[in-house]
Every structure is written in C-alpha cells, then in structure tokens.
Structure 1
Amino acid sequence: MQPLQVMQLTCEYRSNPVGIDVIQPRLSWKLVSERRNVKQNAYQIQVAAAPDLFDNQLIWDTGKVISDQSVHVVYEGAALESRTRYVYRIRVWSEHGQHSDWSETAYWETSLLTPSEWTADWITANIPRDPEQAEPIDMFRAAFQIDGQVSRAVIYATSLGLYELSLNGNRVGDALFTPGWTSYTSRLQYQTYPVTELLKDGGNALGMMVADGWYKGNLGWQKQRNCYGSERAVLLQLHITYEDGSEQIIKTGDNWKASEGPIRMSELYHGETYDARLEQNGWDTWDYDDSGWSGTNVREHSKEILIAQENNPARIVERLQPIELIRTPAGETVLDMGQNMVGWMHISVEGEAGRTITIQHAEVLDKEGNFYTGNLRSAKQTNVYICKGEGVETYEPRFTFQGFRYVKLEGYPGEPKLEQFTGCVITTDLETTGHFECSHPLINQLQHNIEWGQIGNFLDVPTDCPQRDERLGWTGDAQVFIRTAAFNRNVAPFFTKWVRDLKADQFRDGGVPHVIPDVLPQDTHSSSAWGDAAVICPWTVYLSYGDKRLLAEQYDSMKSWVDYIHSQGDNTYLWNSGFHFGDWLGLDAKENSYKGATPSDLIASAFYAYSTSLLAQTARVLGKSSDAATYESLYSKIKEQFRNEFVSPAGRLCAATQTAHVLALMFDLVEGEQKKRIVRTLVELIEENSFHLTTGFVGTPYLCHVLSDNGQHDIALKLVLQESYPSWLYPVTQGATTMWEHWDGVKADGSFWSDNMNSFNHYAYGAIGDWLYQVVAGLDTDHQSTGYKHIKIRPRVGQGFEYAKASLESMYGMIRSGWERTEHGEWIVSITIPANTTAEVHLQDARLETLLESGRSIFEAEGIYTRQQSADGVTITLGSGSYQFTANQ
C-alpha cells in the first residue's frame, strides 16, 4: 500500500512564489494516502536558507506539533529578510500512527519588504505630449556593464500605466498588463523577475515600454481620462549579486533614455495602432545607438504605496484557431473564432511597406449575417497594423484586449488563410479547480459558457463585460458570482487583491463605490446588493478556502458597511432611502426601465439583514463576542421589521414578484406558516409564467437554491431545463458560448435587445453554476468547518438528468461527488473525500437495510463513522477515501 505522502506544498496559495511581501506567510499542504479515514495527527515544518542546510542550520523548526491543521499554518520563525529565498519541507503523522517521509522541498522568496529599500527614481519621458489625447507609448532604455561571475539577478519593476520589460532583447516574464489594476492612489503592485540567465558578460541593456492602460487611459462610458494621473512613469531596480558576495544595483534615474516607437496609439477600449516601419531594432540591446533618444525626468511619486504582486498575473492561457472565413452579405471579410473570447489576435502577413491592415472585433453577427458592433458603444476594439514590407511579418498587440468571437479584416493582402490567424485567450491565470458534467448536453454547454464568462471577465479585476466602453469591477456582479467562481477556479488570491482595493476605496462613512477600483463620480455609491460585496466576498473566500486572516483583515470594512446602512433613512432596522439598482434587468420591469418590479426598499432591507447576519457570524469566528452579540441582536430586529413592513400576518408579501419571495426565503427572513405560504406563492408565480423566471441580477442567483431547499427541487429543475425565453438555456439554443447580460440579448427573430446595454459576455447569470455544483451534484462545504475541512455531500436526483458529477480540487485535495441512475432502477453515488477531512453524506430515499458500499452492506464498510435513517433517506458521516454507494429507488 502506498505510504502516507505530503504533496502540493503552497505558500500564500501559490507553488514556489517569487516576490512576496507577506511578513508571516502561511503554508499549506495536502496529504495523499490509499487508505481510508486518514487524518493528520501532527506535523513538522522545517525552514532553511538552502536544501543542504536542513540538517544543521534551520531558520525555523516547529518540532512535532500535535494538530490536524494542514491549511494556512502561519510561519512563526525568525523575522524574514528582503530579497531572500526560504526553502521548506513538511512531514506529518496520521491518526493511525503512520508517518510520512519529508516532502519534496518547496520555497518562497521575499521581495522588498520596506519602502526604504526602493532607491530608484520614478522617471518620465522628456517628450512633449497632449495629456488629453491617446498618444504613442513611451520606450525607456538603459545600458550597463557586468564585471564578474553573477550568482543571482532579480528585477523589481512597476509603472504608472502598463509596462512590458525586456533585457538584452528578450522579453522578461510572460505576465501581461502589469502592474495590474489596483486602487492606484493607495495601492500599486510591483513585480519580481529572476533574470540571472538573461544577463551577459560585459554589456547589457534594459528596456521598458509603457502605455496609458487603466492609469491614464480612457475608462468608462463618459470618456474619462487621467483618472489617476496625467503622466506615465516607470520605476525599476535590478539587483545583481556576484559570486564574491558583492552587489550591483541598476535603477531608473535621469541617466535613462526615452523615445517613441512603433505603437502610435494604445487604449484598452479602442485598440492599438502599430507602424512596423518605425520599429527600432535592437533598441533594448547593449550596442544600440540611442544618441537620438530624448532624456528622462525624475518625478515625485509615492513609494509608500508599493506592494508586491498579490494576484496571479494575466497571461495567454490558450490559443484558438478560427473555424471559418466568412464573406458577409455586406461583403465583409470576417473570421469566426467559434468561441466568444477575450484577448487579441496574432496575425501573419506579407505586404508592401505602408499597407494598412485593420483588425476589428465583435461578439456577434446581426440577423442578416453582417458584422455587428452596435453593442460596443464607443469602444472601437480595433487594431491597426502598418506593414514594413520585409517578407512575412507577425503582429499581436501588447496593451489592449478585446472581447470577441468575430474578426473583420480590412486591407489584408490576398486571400486570408485560417492558419495565418490565432486568437490568444487572455485572463488572470487562475488554477482550474472545478469540473461539472451531466447527462444533459445543453446544461454542459451552459457550464462551458459559465466558465468562459469567468475566463473573459476575470482579467485582473472581476469586470462586468470585456468588450464595450465599461469593463469595470462592478461590485454587484462580483458578489453574486463569487461562489460559482470559487468552484471553477482558485480565486482566493484574485479576490484577496480585489477586496483590499474595495477597503481602500471605501468611503469614510462606510459607503462602498459601485465599482472597484473606483473611477465613477463620487456621488454615485452604496447601492444595496452592490455595496454588500464588502461583506459577502470576504465571507465567501473564508467559506471556500478557510481564510480567516482575510476575514480579520476585512472585518473593519465589513463592519463599516453594515454601520453605514444602519445610519441611513428614518428607520434604523430598514433601509428605505438612497439610490439602489434594485433587481437589475428583472423581466418584470416597467417599460423603459432597467429595474425590476420588486420594491427597492424590500431588496435593500433584505440585503441589510443578510450582511448583518454574515457580520455577526464573522465576529463569532474572530472571537469578537461583544460585536457578535450586537449584530445578532441587530439582525433579529431587522428580520422583525422586515416582516412588519413587507409581510402580512397571513404570509402575503407586499410585492408579487419572484425576486421578493426568493430574497425573503434565501435570507431566512420569514418562518413558520408565513414561510410556507411564501414558498407556495413563489411556485404559483413560476407556474403562472409557464415555468419561466422573471428575476434579474438580484433574484436569479438564489432562485433555484430557494426552491431546492424548500421542497421544490422539481420546480428548480424545470426552470433550469427550460429552453424557451426567458431561461438559462435559451441563449444556449441560440448558439451562445458565454453568458449573456440579457436573457434575450438576441431575440428569436435574430434582432437584438438593445445597442445600449447588451453584452454577450457578462457572467452574473452564470451564478446558477454554484447550484449545479452544490445541489445537482451535491458538493458543498460545512459552514461551521469551512474550506472543505468538513464536506457536505447531498446529491439531488431529479427528472431530466440520468447522471451528474462534480469535482473540486480543494485546499485539502480532490473532492468528487457524482451519481447515476441505472436501467435497473438503482442509484449509484460515487464519492471521493481527501485525506485530513471528513464528510457528511445524505443519500435521498435510501434505506439502510438495502444500502451497499462497494458491493458490501453499509454496516460492513470501512471508514464510516455513523449511519442514520430518516424519512427522506440515509445520512452517513465518513472519513477520507473513495466510496461507491448503491441504493434502490
């Protein structure tokens, strides 16, 4: 039998991270064993400066610690030093008395831990510019010499704008859109690059290209520019350590040179213009003649706001080939990528000098089959390449991205061939953790669309859409989708960065901007269900990853939001004042309105209760007993006032909308006979609408959960499997490959809902994904033992599915939950529980006396702690391992 092993060591969620500034990083690991019911009884961690020092020169040795903790173990050794690599290894003991060997060695490397270590100067290009217009990008260079044997070289770099770094003609790293988008006034990331292998004996040269990006480029639909500043700048330090221990630092200063280059315009919304005739070959190499270049200016800008990279970087994660070359009725030459994607096109072309090729991007064709850009609003999404006329040339942009399925070509010489074009899919490079599959092909396509919606919109911040003149981090969209996102990908670092920006941009009175980072007018903020992201997102990260540190870090922000609501209006237990988006895009909206019919004060008060309840739970988790009691009492009073205001004694809600009933049930605001009537009424509202939903952004994420949790799982299934408009599957039947913003973005006759607000890549309605994972496949975490330390498995069999299965690579390892119905009327449930966790499994309609596990009676099965029969099935608690249960239905 395979021995107990310690695998997949991570530090702050990442494998071997380079360039972190966490003073006390947290270490996690996974246990692997073929035995069932394996739990960790103890662990030992050793940290050293190098692998050969474990035996005689340790920096930290925990000794044998009696604990089952294997996630987020805090480093408590000697104070960490900057720019230092720390190696570590771990071994564990199991409850069975078995012990593992030492794990393979892993490491983390610190960055610059204090602002005073930044000795470089911020520099700008001494080139006259019009700050109100898009302009050519800046190119910076500096030459330097090396004299000696280099043992290690590391670059630390950032910019005001977006930068790309090169050394001796080689691109440094593969991260895109660095330094990323944060609340630039208070938080600016820098990146760390080991570059030892790129250095040469003797002469070397550094190069940096810098574009406007989010810092000073066009943002939002009101054509705002210079949201954070009007001047691009760069900051860089290259630390070279020689074999003799000496050090050389190359850094930005007024000795650097600057120039314009071939990128004549670069805007996130509008695209890039690249004139290959203006290329300066070798500009980032030692022997390039830069005598014609301009000088640089040192400028003042804070270094106190600098933070090491927190999120995973954006990268090209996939490359797609077009599936068809189309000649539209209008005579346009269009490539079909076969998938609505986010990124850019890589092209190959051979043309004469000066030939201009225009590459325009769109999500859909119109009903006649012509290229359609109406829903882009003012965003041009157009890249222009001007040939230099030297044989086969290749091009792809650097500082812009597009949301598209279709690509219109103009000026391309000859007949385009599909192999000359590649779609580069760009997203924040998050580890894929979840998988859902079932017997229904349209539901599988829906899951595909949910995943691609996440891929396209998780580009450094959780954007609302990736194509039009918006692409902002809307808080409401993020909070409704975060749980689904946490199934599909490991989003812990992604949302850690984002909620820190939320906290940074939060107003002093506790109000929360509609978008994070905030670039909207200061008088627009704090809508219910949007601002509640301040509470819901940190709580969901805790729920999914057991991250108590982030919860503690965000606690003041969470509390400030609830206190802000408490201070609003004329009733401290209701929220009946201010602006609210309401049930955005609800189908029961009045003519020419985006708001659904559910009263805004009902929605606001419901979310007030929900955030208060989560805050109270957070206070309990963090040991803040006084706060917990205060907010538990507040929650009770809000619930009471909610019922007094919106529910009759007989249980009739004041609003006859699906969303009103969903929120009252989801947030546990009603009970007893009132609750029963509201469930019945919700079902009646759905039946009256021929089993179609009418909910918008606020009600849709919870609709099926409420039905399944209240004995109406069959109604939830009918809704999810509905193919006619409005439904989740209607866009699928229309050929959608991502989630739509509107249920009828494309109508049955081929016409469009609207030009004004009609994204075809908008993940909010993809929130149904967590219901597929949690309810259909039955995979969830216990809310009292979070991060899947104790797992809840409760698959729901229903009409329309012959099988369903989900998997999740949790912090503890792989979890699987799947079921299938056999032709003999049996129900087979297959489960995998990772080591060092336990699970509660509920098998609906099963009977203990006939239940089998791996062909044996359930009473003979190994690894099972308890077995309990109830009226609706069997509940089992078990330890780690793989199990297969067979029950008669």
Structure 2
Amino acid sequence: MDWKAKWLKPANDFGNAAPVFSTDFALSRTVKQARLFITALGVYEAALNGRRIGQFVLAPGWTTYYKRLQYQEYDVTDLLRAENHLTVTVGKGWYHSPMPGFSASDFQKGLAARPMGLLAQLEITYEDGQHSFIVSDESWSVSESAVRFSEIYDGEIYDASFIPPCSVAAETFNGPYETLIEQQGEEIREQERIAAVRIFTTPKGEVVADFGQEITGYVEISVNAKAGEEIRLSHAEVLDKDGCFYTENYRSARAEYCCICRDGQQSCQPRLTFFGFRYIRIDAFPGGPGAGKPENFTAVVLHSQMKRTGRLSCSNPLLNRLFDNIIWGQKGNFVDVPTDCPQRDERLGWTGDAQVFVRTACLNYDTEKFFTKWLADLAADQGEDGYVGHVIPDLLKKQPASAAWGDAAAICPWAVYLAYGNSEILSRQFESMRKWVDYITAHTTTEYLWTGGVHYGDWLGLDAPSGSYKGSSREDFIASAFYAHSASLVIKAGLVLGKDMAAYEALLHNIVSAFRRAYPTYTTQTECVLAAHFHLAEDCQAAADQLALMIKECGTKLQTGFVGTPYLLHVLSDYGHTDLAYSLLLREQYPSWLYPVTKGATTVWEHWDGIMENGDFWSRNMNSFNHYAYGAVADWVYCCAAGITPAEGYPGYSKVRIAPAPDARLDWLEASLDTRHGRIISRWKKQDSLWRYEITTPVDAEVVIDGKTFLVSAGSYIYHSSIQLA
C-alpha cells in the first residue's frame, strides 16, 4: 500500500471525549470507483455524507499493536455525491483503554500514552481513467464528538444534543506506517437482534430488563424523549438468589451506558464499546425507570464474521440447551480474538482457553481466517527465545511461561490444519511452533522433562487443595506431558511441510522415555487423561482403566480442570469406556456440564458451580458466566458420539471416518458438519429395539457400525444395527 496520507491527532486534549475528524471535498467528474483505506490508534466509526461506511464494528480490530496494525479497505462509490463530507470518530478501544483492569500492564500504559490517531486515504478512479486522492493531512478538522466518554470496560456516554465547538485543524504526527498490514482477520459485525422478553422490578426496587440470553454486544434503545433527558443502563449476567441485579463479578468494570437525548423520536446505542450481559438495569429513562417497555430495548449481538458449520441436536432437552450454550459462548468470546470472557475487567485472549477449545471452535464455525490472524499475533508477540505469553495480544508480558497455555503455539495451528486441510497455516506458524518447543528445552531444570517452571497447572481442577485454584495434578507432570505433545505436533507439521524432523523425533523419543521413568504412576484423573491421550503411558489402556475406576469411586464425577477436561471423554471412549463418558455427559448434578443448565445457564460457565445449589455464588472476584473453555466437550459429541472425524492422513475431511457410538439413554442424536468438501451428516436413533444409522457423506468414507467397517463413496446410507438394545 502506497500511503500518501499523514497520521492525524487532535490539536487539543479533549479529555474523555472521542475526537471526530472531518474533511469536505467536491467532485465534478463521473466516478468509476472510490476506495477508502483507513485505520486508527483506537477504534473508529467512519461516515460519508451521514451514512456509515462498512459494517465493521470496533474497527480496526485488536492486534499486537506495536508490531501489527490492520487497515481496512471499503468501496464507498455509492456513498459519493457532488459535495461530500467525510467524518471519522475515534474511541479509545483496546488501544487506549486501561487494560487489563485486574493487573498493571506497562505494555498497555505505553499504548495509552500515544495519541488518538487516524490515518485515512480515499482513492478515486474516474470514468476517464484519471485518479485523485483525498488524504488525511493538515487540511482536515477535528472537534469533540457527541461520544463524551468511551472505553472497553466502563462503557460509553453519548450526548445526542451535544453541539461541538468550532472545529480546529488536526495535527499531523509521526504515527506507525511500518506496522500496517491489510485486514487479515474476520470483521466484527452486528449479527443478531434480540428483543427484551420482560421488564420487572426486583426486591430492591430495581427496574430490570431480561433478554433471555446472555450475549456480547450492546442495547439499542428506541424512545421518544425531550432534549436533555437521560437513559442510563447497567449490565449484568445474572441475578442473585433473591432475584436482584448482580454485578460484583464484573469487578472494576463499570459496564454502563448513558445516552443524553435530543428532542423527538430517536434511537441510540453504544458506538465504540461492547458489553457481556443478559440483563440491563434501567437506572434512568424518560418518565422514570419504570416507564421503559420491552419494545424500547433490543440487544444487538456482536461477534466476528464466521460461517456456522456444525450443528448438534438430540432427544435430551438439557443436552440441546448445552449445545446452544456452547455456541453462544463461542459467539460471545470470538470478538476478533478468542477471549476468556466478554464482561468483566479482563476480556483477554488467554492462550490456555484458546487451545482447549480450538477443535470445537473449528467444528462449530469456519474459524480458519479468525485463527490465522490471532496466531500471527501470537508469533509476533513471541519472544526471540520462543517464550509465549498467557494472553495474545500479550498485555501481561514478563510472567513465567505456563504449560498448556504457551502450548497454544503448537496445538492451535495443528488443529486448524486438521479442520481445513490447508497447510498454509503450518507454513506460517512452523517457526513459532518450533521455537516454543525449543524454549521448553532451554528453560527446564531436568533434561527431557519440563521441570522448575511456574504454571497454572490443572486450572480450576475440582481436586484442588483447599484455598488453591490449581488442581492436585503435579505441575511438572502436566508441563512434561505438554512438552511431549507439542514436540509431536512440531514433528507432524514439519513432515507435512517436507522438513527433516530427525532431531525432533529423537527429542520426542527421549521425552517419552524420561516421562515414563519419572512418572510410572498417576495420582489424579487429569494425570491419567494426559498419560493416555498423549500416548505417554507404558500401558495406555491401563491408564484409561485407572481413570474409569477413579471416576466411579468418587460417585461417577469428573474432578478435572482446564487441562484434563477437554480430553476426558475422548480417553474414556478411546479405551472402551464410552458408557462412562455418556454418564459424565448426561449427569445433571454438580459437577457436570448439565448442572449449569439446570440453573438456567444460557452460556458456559467458568466454574461448574458458578451458582451453587443454595443459590450462592462461587466467588465475587472470579466468576464469569460466559467462559467458553468447558464447551470443548462438543468436540467429543461430534467426533465420538456422532463419530465424524477426518480419515487418517486426510486433513480437512477430504476423506472421512464415521463411527457413531450411540447410547440407550438417548433416543436419537444428529450431527452435521459443513466441510470444504460438503456437508457430512451422522444420525442415529432407536428403531424397533435396534439402532438405525443415517449417514450422508460428500466424499469417500470409512463407516464403522457395530465394529464392522464399510468403505463407501459419496452419498447417503442407512444401516441397521445387529445388536439388540438392552
């Protein structure tokens, strides 16, 4: 891109008000095409002749800004007139907001100290073949906008009746050009609109609107008001056990929206921020909080522009609600980066959560472009020695690397490759994958194991000692297991790319040998899971059998945390305990995937008992009700219960294996998956005391029914089981 434009900043300090940059220009010839190239240090909303440009909300998105800043290209031909007025409002966004709210960040302070910058270049091509340019420079004006305050955690104040003082000339400054990149990720867009289902008064006298579903986005308000009347909303995920509005789990994030109205019928909504919520408290409204009606409020759902590819349904209503919750959790947390949660003073791209969920993410939606961009940021933020931070973009620099978090560098690219069959992701990320393994090799205190580090362990494991967030699984055990796993993925990626991987194959052999010597026995469910799933145990069947026994001995309950849970049901199924995997999936009592559903969850929770049996909360300071990681269980439903996987050696489902595993506690189950090669459907149901299997495959497939393998070509097939139902 040949930038002729200059970086602009406000001439004066506007305080909390968002600046609006503007320019006027006239056209006297017929325009063939007009393209606007634009970015900002912050988030922007651009308009030409009063009409919004594009559908990208919170553009230019969130990247590791010191090294990568996206710019966007918009075709604005249809918005042009003879006389034109171009405006761009710039808010703090991720660039200037004080993130992360729960921890000091020198990285973020450095960004916040930079100007609220804008770079814009309009390239016009005329019918006669001539070109002209409208570029941001000293001729542009800047003034305070009607957005009086806006940032990520605290929300926004908008004054529709605000009349700005006279504009002044904008100032140019030496902004970043060398870090500019074309738009790489998916655009964040408004995706759905949800009407308020009810407005009620709590025991404390609060007026609250309920949208019936937790979302990420904001509320659009339609109202007839007088100039100066205020609308003030607060946001919350849940109500407390008394039915009152609850925000303590947002911690320091105020999550408020205020609109100061103009005269007449109008609609307003946040423009440069977002919230995670199901409920709003109406703190002020024309005529009083109680004057608001459901039709005044519409929740607008935001997430990255991703195509839905996977669907699950079955005969169990609670399980169907879980499937929906997993989808809503992904939508709510895939807002340009895979965040842990969208509501409190965090909303960061935690690497551990991303690697836990990546396989499910790639089944539910086409996330190839989404992860390609985020993984490019991971590689950009990665240390020269291979260090990978806990979050990407890495706002928490200098913290010790953690196993299962930094391993996202290896796990995520491989999962994306398997899902879509495009080796380009491996080409882009191979050096990052390799450097991560080399980092472990260089920083361990025990050769061929990973010891001596500081890790999150089996985060939120239910077998955690009193007062600890970490489960009882040994941290060095977990770290060494992931060391082996990441090394194996580097080898696989290298072989796909035609590289000589002999050195890493020898390394992996030594890691596995050292692991077996150091850890001949397993003390927790998660240790059994990792030993079997990563093929580290001398006898993986024995490790899986031990796992099954542990589960049964504690009352058929899981005790795993972030590290063990994603693989738990897979290990049970892979080693002959599918019935036990179903028992865990279908369990309704705490702890289980369905327990939150019985408590009214509409997304996946951070804690199995975020709301406890007696209605109390797990905690005030770390209790998100939209935390997608445990939704990784959907991967098992697609791949084991419905049995849809790529055939060995055929990434991207160019050939498939379909091996359904029904359970008599369900009458039927169906999974569909749109792949690069077409739609795969696997359905099973009870029929006349037998199982009926209905399978559609767009490619050649290995179909496994009752242990028998059928090789079939593309088409639809029906099989009946020879096994009588008990």
TM-score normalised to the size of structure 1? 0.79
2:200 paired residue number: 326
Aligned counterpart for 2:695 among listed residues 819, 831, 835: 831
Cα drift, residue 523 of structure 1 = 1.8
2:140 paired residue number: 256
Counting only pairs closer than 5 Å after superposition, residues 317-466 of structure 1 correspond to structure 2 as 317-388=191-262, 390-414=263-287, 415-466=291-342
CA distance in 1, matches of 2:489, 2:659: 24
Aligned counterpart for 1:725 among listed residues 590, 595, 602: 590
Deviation digits for residues 576-617 of structure 1, max 9, x if unmatched?
111100000011111111111001000000000000011111
Aligned counterpart for 1:792 among listed residues 657, 663, 674: 657
Identify the structure with the greater helix proportion: 2
Give the direction of change, closer, same or farther, for the CA distance of 1:187–1:639 in structure 2 (3 Å limit).
Answer: same
Amino acid at match of 1:259: S
Give yes or no for the alignment of 1:234 onto 2:103.
no
Aligned counterpart for 1:151 among listed residues 9, 12, 32: 32
CA distance in 1, matches of 2:573, 2:367: 27
Secondary structure of 2:222's counterpart equals strand
Cα drift, residue 734 of structure 1 = 0.5
2:464 paired residue number: 589
Secondary structure of 1:325's counterpart equals strand
CA distance in 2, matches of 1:307, 1:813: 32
Counting only pairs closer than 5 Å after superposition, residues 259-270 of structure 1 correspond to structure 2 as 259-270=143-154
The 8 Å contact of residues 322 and 335 in structure 1, kept in 2 or not, is answered as yes
Aligned counterpart for 1:840 among listed residues 687, 702, 708: 702
Secondary structure of 2:209's counterpart equals strand
Cα drift, residue 714 of structure 1 = 0.6
**After the TM superposition, which of the residue ranges 374-383 and 795-804 deviates more from structure 2?**
795-804
CA distance in 2, matches of 1:223, 1:423: 32
CA distance in 1, matches of 2:227, 2:367: 46
Deviation digits for residues 261-280 of structure 1, max 9, x if unmatched?
21111011110011122056
Moved runs in structure 1, 4+ residues, more than 4 A? none
Amino acid at match of 1:316: E
Give yes or no for the alignment of 1:305 onto 2:179.
yes
CA distance in 2, matches of 1:223, 1:579: 20
Secondary structure of 1:512's counterpart equals coil
Secondary structure of 2:413's counterpart equals helix
Deviation digits for residues 799-837 of structure 1, max 9, x if unmatched?
311211111110111111111120x12322111111xx3
Secondary structure of 2:319's counterpart equals helix
CA distance in 1, matches of 2:402, 2:548: 29
The 8 Å contact of residues 227 and 519 in structure 1, kept in 2 or not, is answered as no
2:714 paired residue number: 880
CA distance in 2, matches of 1:745, 1:629: 47
1:191 paired residue number: 72
1:486 paired residue number: 362
Secondary structure of 2:111's counterpart equals coil
Cα drift, residue 313 of structure 1 = 0.5
1:667 paired residue number: 534
Cα drift, residue 432 of structure 1 = 0.5
The 8 Å contact of residues 14 and 144 in structure 2, kept in 1 or not, is answered as no
**After the TM superposition, which of the residue ranges 631-640 and 241-250 deviates more from structure 2?**
631-640
CA distance in 1, matches of 2:216, 2:316: 27
CA distance in 2, matches of 1:675, 1:537: 24
Cα drift, residue 697 of structure 1 = 0.4
CA distance in 1, matches of 2:437, 2:480: 11
CA distance in 2, matches of 1:799, 1:525: 47
The 8 Å contact of residues 17 and 147 in structure 2, kept in 1 or not, is answered as yes
1:44 paired residue number: none
1:699 paired residue number: 564
Cα drift, residue 119 of structure 1 = 1.1
Cα drift, residue 783 of structure 1 = 4.0
Cα drift, residue 228 of structure 1 = 2.1
Cα drift, residue 229 of structure 1 = 4.3
Counting only pairs closer than 5 Å after superposition, residues 796-811 of structure 1 correspond to structure 2 as 796-811=661-676
CA distance in 2, matches of 1:572, 1:212: 47
Secondary structure of 2:653's counterpart equals coil
CA distance in 1, matches of 2:444, 2:416: 31
The 8 Å contact of residues 512 and 525 in structure 1, kept in 2 or not, is answered as no
2:504 paired residue number: 631
Deviation digits for residues 52-88 of structure 1, max 9, x if unmatched?
xxxxxxxxxxxxxxxxxxxxxxxxxxxxxxxxxxxxx
Q: RMSD of the alignment, in Å?
A: 1.2
Secondary structure of 1:691's counterpart equals coil
CA distance in 2, matches of 1:279, 1:595: 54
Identity %: 47
1:772 paired residue number: 637
Amino acid at match of 1:272: E
Secondary structure of 1:631's counterpart equals helix
1:29 paired residue number: none
The 8 Å contact of residues 230 and 286 in structure 2, kept in 1 or not, is answered as no
2:21 paired residue number: 140
Secondary structure of 1:665's counterpart equals helix
Give yes or no for the alignment of 1:179 onto 2:60.
yes
Deviation digits for residues 592-650 of structure 1, max 9, x if unmatched?
1111100100000000000001111111111112xx22212211111111111111xxx
Amino acid at match of 1:736: A
Deviation digits for residues 421-469 of structure 1, max 9, x if unmatched?
1000000010001101111111111100000000000000000000000
The 8 Å contact of residues 36 and 76 in structure 2, kept in 1 or not, is answered as yes
Cα drift, residue 747 of structure 1 = 0.4
Deviation digits for residues 476-529 of structure 1, max 9, x if unmatched?
000010000001100000000000000000011101010000111x32142000
1:215 paired residue number: 95
Secondary structure of 1:604's counterpart equals helix
CA distance in 2, matches of 1:676, 1:810: 32
CA distance in 1, matches of 2:580, 2:207: 46
Aligned counterpart for 2:384 among listed residues 508, 521, 524: 508
Cα drift, residue 386 of structure 1 = 1.3
Amino acid at match of 1:186: K
**After the TM superposition, which of the residue ranges 252-261 and 120-129 deviates more from structure 2?**
120-129
CA distance in 1, matches of 2:515, 2:549: 22
Cα drift, residue 129 of structure 1 = 4.7
Secondary structure of 1:732's counterpart equals helix
Unaligned runs of 5+ in 1: 1-111, 281-289, 845-872
The 8 Å contact of residues 327 and 333 in structure 1, kept in 2 or not, is answered as yes
Amino acid at match of 1:587: L
Secondary structure of 2:98's counterpart equals coil
CA distance in 2, matches of 1:226, 1:683: 49
CA distance in 2, matches of 1:641, 1:507: 27
CA distance in 2, matches of 1:400, 1:716: 41
CA distance in 2, matches of 1:614, 1:841: 27
Secondary structure of 2:684's counterpart equals strand
The 8 Å contact of residues 714 and 799 in structure 1, kept in 2 or not, is answered as no
1:714 paired residue number: 579
**After the TM superposition, which of the residue ranges 410-419 and 588-597 deviates more from structure 2?**
410-419
Number of residue pairs matched by the alignment = 716
Amino acid at match of 1:314: I
CA distance in 2, matches of 1:874, 1:783: 17
CA distance in 1, matches of 2:400, 2:121: 39
Deviation digits for residues 261-300 of structure 1, max 9, x if unmatched?
21111011110011122056xxxxxxxxx9x201111111
